[in-house]
Structure 1
Amino acid sequence: MKETSLKNSKFKGVFGACEGTCPTSAIEVTPNSIIHCDTCGEEPKCADACPNGALKVEEFEVVDGVMQARLVFNSVLCDSCGKCEEVCPQETIKVTGAKLKEVEGFCVMCQKCVDICPVDVIGIPGVKEPAEYDLDLKGKGPVYIKDCVGCGTCVEPCPVSAITLEEVGSPITVNDDCIRCGLCSQTCPWNAIFISEKKPVKRSKEITSFTFDSAKCIGCNTCVEACPGDFISANSASLTVAIPSVCAACGLCVKVCPVDALDIEIEWGEGAPVDAEGIGRDVEKCDFIGACANKCPTEAIRVVTKTGMSCPALVETDSEPSFTSCIRCGACASVCSNDALKVDQYEVTIDGEPVIRDRISFNPSKCDQCGDCIEACPYDMIHKTDNPKLPIAGFCTLCGQCIEACPEDALCYK
């Protein structure tokens, strides 16, 4: 067979390779965290709860002289009662009902997750200490690019075409058209770009097809050398390569292959731009009255009415009716050297339920009116005022006064 392929498999990104390789499904990678079986501090509750002894804990010699608790499972003794699932504090244990694998989600200390992690953040105390993954973004500014591998995965999702990849394998550049929406950061497989000092919630993704045509391959190993995670391995015996079962889905190998021997298809989940949460506007209901802009205590909304009046400035203009607002992207706060502007969290009520949303807070006593925030704002909302109590305006605090002021009910929390 000339072509090998992996289709409709469960692939994970760079921080999900561990999940893909775990034989007992004891690791789950979510956009915000990694959930895994930790053997409850070497005293597994699932083993204690099992009435039949199907789950047991035993001491396992990881390396010479280093012992570690692990779980072992005897399918013959399991009656799928579910008691292990009920007591699991990490909620990794699941009763599947499948023959010979009635239960999954327990750690057997196989160390496959340790071996496959391309950034070495998974380790075993006393054997292989995990590398520290520094995500301190303080002071990094509106757009922070670090160790970009030049895969270009972030280029297409950018809604304003602000990202340029001059050459595959070289770092991207972001121009002044960037609106700080964060889609690039959510998409990047290698955590190389951050917007407004925020840690992104990653988009879900699945590789639906990853194929390699050995008849085309010339054995140059360009893909092997280019893969940032060392996922692709060379097959020296046949002068070909072996494609992985888990990878970051960045497609860099496909882009650098000189003979088009590799092909990848990725199904992406929806992104969550920064303006997806906060204040929502029903475009069909909005009649550009301007009451919201006139009511906003921080001048975070700008409306041009149908009569040609710009609110809240209350000056005439020949511009078309429009609505512009602060979307709390945080660019202003990321450049404020005195911490006068900050992004913090605020509780609002949506459909009767309390939810947490980002807002911008301002401490006028710390503001020296340097103007850095004005330059950083991608929507030209931040501006100076003549009010000494509010020297800088244009930022949204999620106070909700605009929602109350709108006569058309066009605004709401979302």
Structure 2
Amino acid sequence: MIVFNEDGCIRCGACEGTCPTSAIDVTPTSIIHCDTCGGEPKCADVCPEGALKVETYSIAEGAEEQIRLVFNSTLCNSCGKCEEACPQDTIKLTGNDLMEVEGFCVMCQKCVDICPVDVIGIPGIVEPKGEVIDLDGKGSIYINDCVGCGTCVDPCPVSAITLDEIGGTISIADDVCIKCGLCSQTCPWNAVFIAEKKPAKRAKTINAFDLELSKCIGCNTCVEACPGDFIKANSANLSVLIPDACAACQLCVKLCPTDALSMDVEWAEGVPADTEGLGYDAEKCDFVGACANKCPTEAIRVVTKTGMLCPALEETDAEPSFASCIRCGACAAVCSNDALSVGSIEKVIDGETVTRDRIEFNPYKCNECGDCIEACPYNMLHATGNEKFPIMGFCTLCGQCIDACPKHALYDV
């Protein structure tokens, strides 16, 4: 059985990319994978034709026998019972006549071999690296083994992060940092943590990773610099072999002396690093958009299941989603006229009176410069064109969204 130490995972997606049966799904918050149901695969139990079967074999001499799943395409009738029975939701029907089903583990070990931080293993044979990140007592800003790729520098909404030299170590100005956690969510190597919290990583897609052979001089700078040993030397033509998947830190691109390497990375939006004030239960959310339509400052954005963007009430092809202002204060930090500020509000939660941060706005001080819109790490702020209320998208913790939610997915925390 393949096991993962999710605490040390950098969410690079290399394991997902190399899995021949698509049995691994790396998300910003978790790793979903076929674990053969602890040795008793339910997909094989319910298969009426015996297309999915359990097989035991020894990976190494003297090692404990392992369970693997084997699939016979000629026996599969695409009934879908395996998909329904899979507790991990990895088994899927493909519609491909030659491989009707995917998502089962064949114990090929390709994921174990490719993991750059060795957090994937097989108990008793290849133990996953057992590093557990303990952030207690580390303070509001904690930098650990930074590789100096600089990926976190540009996303910082208040320019609190500096990197004097590529390959060095970042510095974060404590008096400037607003603790939004976007750097921690972006860091490809789990090297920075904010407010003693483990972040949900931003999703990313490598659209292109290219090597221009005519420029490559075979110096192997990128090979030596790659923190995950993804890039390999190609002695056959004095160049390098670039991987299909990697952490996308682009350290290799930045250090290449001849600009032979290039990479295009598309990043998803950041996710709230701090839910203190407004809690959100994703499992309860039905994406009806009532909260977004009720919010008086348009601080919530919902894409409904029917393809409607709320509160703008515009049609969209985007997947159902929920996003909101988390009152990180990035807008207030850059506002030159003090039109935006971080205030506070008292709330009674479970019988206890607590103080929570809120965003306060004085429209008469706003000069509509747009600095706050650019600074917002969650793309919530927007101009209205209304002179009396020129900016919207900030949360005042009024609580109207909580009352409007029909599924009770929003709550005070």
Normalised to the residue count of structure 1, the TM-score between the two structures is 0.69
Provide Cα deviations, 1:73-102, integer angstroms capped at 9, x if missing partner: 011110100000111111111111112110
Residue-by-residue CA offset, 1:107-134 (whole Å, 9 max, x unaligned): 0000000001111111111111111131
Contact map agreement 2:16 2:25 (CA 8 A) in 1: yes
Residue matched to 1:36: 33
3-state DSSP class of the match of 2:224? helix
The share of aligned pairs that are identical, in percent, is 62
Relative to structure 1, the CA distance from residue 103 to residue 303 in structure 2 (aligned partners, 3 Å threshold; closer, same or farther) is closer
Deviation at 1:203, TM superposition (A): 1.0
Cross-structure match for 1:235: 234
> Which is further off, 14-23 or 182-191?
14-23
Q: State the SS of the aligned residue for 2:262.
A: strand
Aligned positions of 1:108-187 closer than 5 A? 108-175=106-173, 176-187=175-186
Q: Partners in 2 of 1:307 and 1:159 — Cα distance?
A: 24
What is the rounded CA distance, in whole Å, between the counterparts of 1:352 and 1:326 in structure 2?
Answer: 20
8 Å CA contact 2:11–2:27 kept in 1: the answer is no
* 1:185 and 1:194 in contact (8 A); partners too: yes
Partner of 1:268 in structure 2? 267
Name the aligned partner's letter for residue 239 of structure 1: L
Structure 2 residue runs of 5 or longer lacking an equivalent are 1-8, 279-294, 300-338, 348-352, 366-390
In 1: Cα distance, 2:111 partner to 2:190 partner: 19
Matched with 1:52 is: 49
**Per the alignment, do residues 177 and 235 of structure 1 end up closer, same or farther by CA in structure 2, a change over 3 Å counting?**
same
Partner of 2:388: none
Question: 2:253 corresponds to which residue?
Answer: 254
Query: Structure 1 residues 118, 266: CA separation in 2 closer, same or farther (over 3 Å shift)?
Result: same
Residues 19, 28 of structure 1: 8 Å contact kept: yes
Question: Among 18, 28, 35, which residue is 1:21 paired with?
Answer: 18
Q: Confirm or deny: 8 A CA contact 1:293 1:299 kept in the other structure.
A: yes
Distance change >3 Å, CA 179–CA 76, structure 1 → 2: same
Task: Find the aligned partners of 1:306 and 1:271 in 2 and give their Cα distance.
Answer: 27
CA displacement, residues 189-212 of structure 1 (integer Å, 9 cap, x when unaligned): 111111101111111110111110
Which residue is 2:60 aligned to? Answer: 63
Shift in CA distance, 160/61, structure 1 to aligned 2, threshold 3 Å: same
The within-5 A match list for 1:372-387 is none
Instruction: Show CA shifts across 1:220-269 (max 9, x none).
Output: 10000000000000011211000001100110000000000000001111
Paired residue secondary structure (1:62): coil
Partner of 2:193: 194
Could you tell me which amino acid in structure 1 is paired with residue 184 of structure 2? S
SS class of match (1:144): strand
Is the Cα contact below 8 Å between 2:135 and 2:197 reproduced in 1?
A: yes
Task: Spell out, residue by residue over 1:159-199, the C-alpha distance to the aligned partner (whole angstroms, 9 max, x if none).
Answer: 00000011001110001211111111111111111110111
Contact 1:274 1:327 in 2 (8 A): no
* 1:353 alignment partner in structure 2: 407
Return the alpha-carbon distance in structure 2 between the equivalents of residues 57 and 163 of structure 1: 52
- Structure 1 Cα separation of the partners of residues 410 and 16 of structure 2: 29
Measure how far apart 1:25 and its partner are.
0.5
Q: C-alpha separation between the residues in 1 aligned to 2:216 and 2:361?
A: 60
Deviation at 1:278, TM superposition (A): 4.1
1:205 to 1:327, Cα distance in 2 relative to 1, 3 A: farther
State the alpha-carbon separation in 2 of the partners of residues 261 and 107 from structure 1: 37
For residue 46 of structure 2, what is the amino acid of its counterpart? A
The answer to whether structure 1 residue 104 and structure 2 residue 102 are counterparts is yes
Contact 1:59 1:70 in 2 (8 A): yes
Superposition CA RMSD, Å = 3.3
Residues 281/169 of structure 1: CA separation in 2 closer, same or farther (3 Å cut): farther
Query: Aligned with 1:100: secondary structure?
Result: coil
Distance 1:256 1:51, change over 3 A: same
Superposed structure 1 runs of 4+ greater than 3 Å apart: 12-15, 273-281, 292-308, 325-328
- Does the Cα contact within 8 Å between 2:156 and 2:183 map onto a contact in 1? yes
Q: Aligned with 2:248: secondary structure? A: coil
SS at match of 2:58: strand
Structure 1 residues 90 and 231: alpha-carbon distance in aligned structure 2, compared to 1, 3 A threshold: same
SS in 1 for 2:266: strand
State the Cα distance separating 1:355 from its structure 2 match.
3.4
Shift of 1:281: 6.8
Give the AA of the match of 1:147: D
Q: Is the 8 A contact 1:157 1:183 kept in 2?
A: yes
Corresponding position: 1:209 with 2:208: yes
- Which one has the largest radius of gyration? 1
Q: Distance in 2 between matches of 1:222 and 1:54?
A: 48
SS in 2 for 1:53: coil
Aligned equivalent of 1:79 = 77
Q: Aligned with 1:140: secondary structure? A: coil
The one-letter amino acid of 2:16's match is E
Pick closer, same or farther for the CA change 1:79–1:144 going to 2, 3 Å: same
SS of 2:131's equivalent? coil
- Residue matched to 2:297: 282
1:350: how far off?
Answer: 5.7
Residue equivalent to 1:381? none
